[in-house]
Amino acid sequence: MYRIGYSLSPKDVQSFMQNSLLDHAKQRGIDLIEIDPTKPLTQQGPFDCIIHKHYGSDWNNQLQQLSLDHPNVVVIDPPQAIEHLHNRVCMLDVVTSLKIPQGNQTFGVPIQRVLDESENLMDLIEEIGPKFPLIAKPVSVDGSAKSHEMFLVFNENGLKKLKLKKPIVMQEFVNHGGVIFKVYVVGDHVKCVKRSSLPDICEETLNSIAGDEGFLLFSKISNLIVKNNEAEGGSSDEVGEYCCGVEKLVEEAEMPPLEFVMELAKGLREAMGLRLFNFDLIRDSGDGNRYFVIDINYFPGYVNMPEYESVFVDFFCDVVQEKRKKNSDGEVELDAKENHHEEEELCE
Strand-pair category, 2-7 with 30-34: parallel
C-alpha span between 150 and 154 (Å, rounded): 13
- Specify burial of residue 323 (Cβ count, 10 A radius: 0-12, 13-18, 19+): middle
Binding site membership for 1D-myo-inositol 1,3,4-trisphosphate: which residues? Answer: 53, 148, 182, 297, 301
Binding residues for Mg(2+): 280, 295, 297
- Sequence ranges of the binding site for ATP: 88, 137, 171-182, 197
Binding-site residues, please?
53, 88, 137, 148, 171-182, 197, 280, 295, 297, 301
Burial of 266 (0-12, 13-18, 19+ CB in 10 A): middle
Give which of 154, 5, 13 is closest to 74, Cα–Cα. Answer: 5
d(CA 247, CA 259) in angstroms, rounded, equals 26
